[in-house]
Amino acid sequence: MYLKIDTTSNENVIEILDEKFQITDKHEKTMARNESEIMLSWIDEIVGEKLHSIRGIVVCIGPGSYTGVRVGVTIANSMAFSLNIPILGYKIGECINFIGLKEGSFGAPAIPYYEREPLITKPKARL
């Protein structure tokens, strides 16, 4: 099985793909601001004991929410590295070429694509 992660918007999507890359299970969850810390536990609920059955990870690298992209790509890279499985990053609107997932072990990590510089400013003073 393969795991597909898309956290580019507040509507996060986790899909389980079979050996032919067909969707066998799909989970969607709207995550409010600052809820990214529950992402790993949500993936654990979905994958559970089948964690070591994952043969590869597909992750949407953007564009999208700065934090959402960062969280999804970091989780995908960490899982791929720790399980020693291949990872494939794709941009929204791109056709996904799954051939690379069938070969070898973990290679280059997925790199987030933000489309523009992030709008990061100093935190506002709290009253």
Residue 5: is it exposed, middle or buried by C-beta count within 10 angstroms (0-12/13-18/19+)?
A: buried
Predicted pLDDT at 61: 94
Mind giving me the DSSP string for 82-93?
HHT--EEEEETT
- Where does the chain have alpha helices with state H? 39-47, 66-83
Q: Please, what is the Cα angle at 74 between 44 and 63, to 5 degrees?
A: 115
- Tell me whether strands 87-91 and 11-17 are parallel, antiparallel or unpaired: unpaired
**13: pLDDT strictly greater than 70:** yes
User: Could you tell me the pLDDT band of residue 118, with boundaries at 50, 70 and 90?
Assistant: low
Predicted pLDDT at 91: 93
Torsion of the alpha carbons at 14, 15, 16 and 21, rounded to the nearest 10: -140
pTM here is: 0.85
Q: Which domains does the chain have, with CATH numbers?
A: 2-102 (3.30.420.40)
